[in-house]
Structure 1
Amino acid sequence: MFDTVASQVSALSFVDIFNFCVFLTFTLCYTYQLYYVLVVLTRRAPKRTAARNHRYAVMVAARNEEAVIADLIHSIKVQNYPAELIDVFVIADNCTDRTAEVAREAGAIVFPRHNDKQVGKGYALDWGLKAIWEQYADKDYEAYFVFDADNVLDVNYFREMNATFDSGAKASTSYRNSKNFGSNWISAGYGVWFLREAKFLNQARLTLNTSCAVSGTGFFIATDILKKAGGWKWHLLTEDIEFSASSIIDGVRISYCPTAVLYDEQPITFRDSWNQRFRWAKGFYQVFAHYAGGLVKGAVTNPRGYRFACYDMLMTIAPGMLLSIISILFNSIIIVLAATGIMSTGVAIASSVTSVVFCLCNYLVFMFVFGVLTTFVEWDSIRTTTAKKIRYMFTFPVFMLTYIPIALIALVKKAAWKPIKHSISVDVAEFSEAEGARLSSK
């Protein structure tokens, strides 16, 4: 009898200690991001003005984007910024449609690329960048902007980003909004996530004068950074996060411009969403494997102003969700062992069931709170009806919950670039008018 009780207590202690360690690790690693929320809610982001205008090149790696590429180029051509200081280069990457012709007709310089061995945005950007250096060396571009073909820009985008560059930033990201937030719960999930990233991560980092992170599209990199790198040398599945990690290790601070607004088209089918997020998850694992050591070292040895930036980036790429997955799997194994009769410690089983429920509920509640907070803080920026804004606050946690199986499968399955079809054409003037009304109301 005493042996049975002792074994149950021992098993219970082991289960509880394991779950407590997981919870404590999460808390210690990520609590600082709650401080970010406080910073955003209580302090204004710094404003910048430019002493002069600078010359820029725009690079767009586009694959079969004939339906949307003209909108992006048009939104660049109508900027409140001297048109002669912006040249648009489209890398028509392995296209089988009229992307090159449409882009050329819209006013872009087009470089057709055909390479089925080196596939991916990073390779296309590197090829295009070197073509610009070779053929347009006399232009003396001071920085290079990177956009996706489905983007459109607010009319003041370049004016605002120029102020950031003129202030000394070597790289900067911008405010990423969605042009199809209201399509369904999937596009809304993306929309909330990117707004949360812009507002409660990058804006807080800007305010605290630490480094931000580039996220996919809507950013610039100074020419001297690219020249020093010998081109676009970042070729992992998430080349944007790889660039961010590499730069922060090297002591380059990435800035953020909250007044430069970009609209991005989000996937609306679960298959496209799964494929895209699966690639992202795999890419984050790749970046962690390549750069975690450098970030850990930088958090200890970098100049004092850059140590926290290294830690923050480490937490960004760290597979934090794996802690939740490991906890759920561990406790699920105990439950299965009990169900098959291999294990009979009932107290430990009850503890495991409680832990699984707690882990899932805690995750859903946390995401719901962030979804609600982001939606209300950015209410006027979200382009959809009031009813949909409210509805999608409740579906956002479900969207985020689907990351768990994606992150788990990405551990063991290879990932590759899979094109996502973009088809939503928008009225650029309408978007700019809406953004102007939003800013004037603040």
Structure 2
Amino acid sequence: MTPARRRRRPRPGTTPGPVRAGDAGHGVKRRARRRDGEPSGHWLLLLTVMALVGCALVLDGFVRNVAGETGPAPGSGNPVAWLEPLHRGGPVLNLTGDEPSSARPKARTVALTFDDGPDPDWTPRLLDVLKAQGAKATFFGVGSKIAAHPELTRRIVAEGHELGNHTYTHPDLAAIPAWRAELELNLTQKALAGATGLHTTLARPPYSSTPGTITVEQWDSLAALGRQGYLIALTDLDTRDWLRPGASHIVKAALPSGGRGAVVMMHDSGGDRAQTVEAVSRLLDELDRAGYRAETLTSALGMPSAHRPAEQTAWIAGTALGLAQRGAGAFTAALWWVLFVTGALTLARLVLLVVLARVHARRSRDPERAGRWDRPPGVTVIVPAYNEEAGIAATVRSLVATAYPGPVEVLVVDDGSTDGTAEAVAATRLPGVRVIRQANGGKAVALNTGIRHARHEILVMVDGDTVFEPGTIGHLVRRLADPRVGAVSGNTKVGNRRGLIGRWQHIEYVIGFNLDRRAFELLDCMPTVPGAIGAFRRDVLVALGGVSTDTLAEDTDLTMALCRAGWRMVYEERAIAWTEAPATLRQLWRQRYRWCYGTMQAMWKHRRALAEPRPFGRRCLGYLALFQVLLPLLAPVVDLMAVYHVAVGDPLPAVAVWTGFVVVQAASGWYALRLDGERVSALWALPLQQVVYRQLIYLVVFQSVATALLGVRLRWHTVRRQGTFAAP
């Protein structure tokens, strides 16, 4: 028989399904035939989603980024004196030919015109007034509002009124590039086609008024409109109703004199138009008594209708534009709600953790919190090791140097290392240290080997890149004197925290992991006793069948199984272990990807705990699903909407909210660091952590979820050791 080949990197189980600590660079035995490797195409999916989100926000931002729908025209120069003869001809300009011309409505004819709509509140009221009095009008619609309210636009046409082009987002055409002006007009025509199947030959530039107010800059933009074939509608009588001067003033400003025809400018959107609605009703009565007729603009000029049938392609494009704009608006509104909910949940979680941490800190000062042993029990420290040559000697020395008064044995299980891990341990020649070599089977298999060979009933598990302080084992064992406690989580600290990446992880360990564990103990829902430092009862592990090989997060899987069996999990902040954290972003990514995916596997495996009588499943799995899976997936909305608000609106509120969020995190971080006896000066790296580190964790969660949903088997990701604790 040929000897079995050593597997270089066994894979985990495939059960799909938050985020924990513990790392020792091991494989996990394969239990089912499924696809191996990274999920194919998920990054393309992410980029596609990001592109769609970006397009939606750009479109919505373009629609909303309006300088002001109504208001005084910006002072851009003096009126053009040489246009005076054209001014006298009337307010409707024809600049399509070589010689400009102008016209005005027929005698005793008024063209009522309304700008900036359609508006779902005020346009229907104006239409009702016009219909009741048998009057017709011309509505110069803003394209984005036409796309938002196509049914209202269709009503305008159905009731015999006329439509004109008032650009898509209401910019000052004299203040924007020619390409933007052309885009504004073309998009509005598409919106009209999508809503009504029509195009229009009428246009009115935003911020325009009477012909006598045309400036040099405005003339150039008017000439461009003429070259595009538009009939330009200015006004004789500008009511300035957007100032809301009162219905009587608006009526007075709208009444022509001497029987002359006139174009009257009012607004059906852009604010409270109650005065305008009242004024139109009174104005129509006044005009009727004076023998005037209210007609559409082209009818008042004695011209054919401005409406032209749109081509089928224009209707399709306009319909798509309307759907895209409304979808973008709904999506952006949903993001604002997501932002609110995400922010509220994040703040509520921080407050809850701080409150529970304070309660835990008070209880931890109680000398009777832990039970008492009649005599110190023997302890076996199991160190699963795979290619840990760089730091394993320092780990073993720290374990042997313990101040624990009872017997201690150190059992190093070399899980098929390809470097000098076993030799490094043997070279220490320390008493009470044994090395067991085995073929590579994964960390869980190595731990089970250690459990079988352990000589004592108290087991302490520690990673091969971690060192203990002298009092750590004693603090762990003391908590196990309580017969209700099945396992004890220690306090893992980052040893290599000098670089920025190390500082970020140091902040995360203290603020995130340790605050969480204090709360978990009080709520009796500890999800993870970390592999870096944890103490267990040997008989309890044997009764469970040892450490499961089903997931990449064997420590989370084991802890959940213990909790479901009715054992209490506790956190001992005085049991300190110093671990070597990843030193590069690539290594950090690989570690957190494994953690996150493995925890999802454990959640899925123990999903039936939700229906069990004990509250563990509902508390633990609910918390992990909400705060370590769902919230990280939604949290990028905070940054996304901050950027959106800076680009589209006033940046100060967005900056204030983001700053407030960081301040709250810093306040909770300050308290967490104080509880752990750490220097609060570490918080200087917190703002930078929000910019880089947090986004990396979001991507980790996204990839983990994609891996789980696609049913892909994740390979074990090892972390290269730097030998942080190798120096004496």
TM class, shorter-chain normalised?
Answer: 0.7 to 0.9
Aligned counterpart, 1:35: 352
**1:245-287 Cα distance to aligned partner (Å, 9 max, x none):** 2332332221111111111111111111111111112212222
**1:378 aligned residue:** 673
Q: Residues 297 and 54 from structure 1, CA distance in 2 versus in 1: closer, same or farther, beyond 3 angstroms?
A: same
The answer as to 2:687 corresponding to 1:394 is yes
Q: How does 1:287-436 map to 2 (within 5 A)?
A: 287-291=602-606, 293-298=607-612, 301-302=613-614, 307=615, 310-318=618-626, 320-323=628-631, 325=633, 366=661, 369-371=664-666, 373-375=668-670, 377-378=672-673, 389-397=682-690, 398-413=692-707, 414-422=713-721, 423-425=723-725
CA deviation digits over 1:177-219, x for unaligned, max 9?
Answer: 12112x2121112211111245422223335565463123200
Choose which of 241, 249, 252 in structure 1 pairs with 2:564: 249
State the AA in 2 paired with 1:104.
A
Q: What secondary structure sits across from 1:412 in the alignment?
A: helix
* Between 252-261 and 374-383, the greater mean CA deviation after superposition: 374-383
Name the amino acid aligned to 2:434.
I
In structure 2, how many angstroms separate the alpha carbons of the residues matched to 1:247 and 1:368?
A: 38
Match of 1:180 in 2: 496
Name the structure with the higher helix share: 1
Task: Give the equivalent residue in structure 1 for 2:510.
Answer: 195
Task: Give the deviation of 1:129 after TM superposition.
Answer: 2.6
Q: CA deviation at 1:367?
A: 6.1
Match in the other structure for 1:73: 396
CA distance in 1, matches of 2:347, 2:540: 30
Confirm or deny: 8 A CA contact 2:492 2:533 kept in the other structure: yes
Query: Aligned residue for 2:534?
Result: 219
Looking at structure 2, the residues matched to 226 and 315 of structure 1 have their Cα atoms a distance apart, in angstroms, of: 25
Distance 2:346 2:687 in 1: 27
In the other structure, the counterpart of 1:278 is 593
Q: Say what the alpha-carbon RMSD is for the aligned residues.
A: 3.8
Distance in 2 of aligned mates of 1:191 and 1:114: 34
Deviation of 1:37 after TM superposition, in Å, equals 0.8
C-alpha displacement of 1:22: 7.4
8 Å CA contact 1:153, 1:262 repeated in 2: yes
User: Residue type matched to 1:312 in 2?
Assistant: C
SS in 1 for 2:437: strand
Superposition pairs for residues 48-67 of structure 1, below 5 Å?
48=370, 50-51=372-373, 52-67=375-390
How far apart, CA to CA, are the structure 2 residues paired with 1:209 and 1:180? 32
In the alignment, is the contact (CA less than 8 A) between 1:276 and 1:418 conserved in 2?
A: yes
Flag structure 1 segments of 5+ consecutive residues without an equivalent. 336-348, 429-442
Q: Deviations over 1:16-51 (max 9, x none)?
A: 356526754885698355222113235513343533
The letter of the residue matching 1:45 is: R
The alpha-carbon distance between structure 1 residues 327 and 155, as it changes in their structure 2 partners (threshold 3 A), is closer
Please state if 1:105 is matched with 2:422: no
3-state SS, counterpart of residue 126 of structure 1: helix
Out of 353, 357, 363, the residue aligned to residue 45 of structure 1 is 363
CA distance in 2, matches of 1:241, 1:217: 12
Alignment: residue pair count: 391
Distance 2:148 2:668 in 1: 47
- How far off is 1:295 after superposition? 3.2
C-alpha spacing 1:30/1:177, structure 2 compared with 1 (3 Å)? same
Residues 411 and 70 of structure 1, relative CA distance in 2, 3 Å threshold: same
Closer, same or farther: CA 239–212 of 1 in aligned 2, 3 Å? closer
One-letter code aligned to 2:355: L
**SS at 1:263 equivalent:** strand
Which structure has the larger Rg?
A: 2
Q: TM-score, normalised by structure 1?
A: 0.75
Question: What CA distance in whole angstroms lies between the structure 2 residues aligned with 1:212 and 1:159?
Answer: 23
Structure 1 stretch displaced more, 419-428 or 236-245 = 419-428
- Give the TM-score taking structure 2 as reference length: 0.48
What is the aligned partner in structure 2 of residue 439 from structure 1? none
Whichever residue aligns with residue 608 of structure 2, its letter is G
Q: Structure 1, residues 154-195: CA drift from partner, whole Å, max 9, x if none?
A: 1111111121011221111011112112x2121112211111
Opposite residue 167 of structure 1, the aligned amino acid is D
Q: SS of 2:589's equivalent? A: helix
Q: Give 1:173's aligned amino acid.
A: S
| Identity percentage of aligned residues | 20
SS in structure 2 of the partner of residue 173 of structure 1 = strand
Distance 1:401 1:361 in 2: 20
In 2, the alpha carbon distance for the partners of 1:157 and 1:67 equals: 22
Q: For residue 433 of structure 1, what is the aligned residue in structure 2?
A: none
SS state at 2:493 partner: strand
Match of 2:459 among 138, 144, 147: 144
Find 2:411's aligned residue among 69, 76, 89.
Answer: 89
**Structure 2: 5+ residue stretches without partners:** 1-117, 121-145, 151-324, 708-712
Q: Could you tell me whether the CA contact under 8 Å between 1:61 and 1:90 is conserved in 2?
A: yes
Does the 8 Å contact 2:451/2:538 carry over to 1? no
Residue 441 of structure 2 is aligned to residue 127 of structure 1 = no
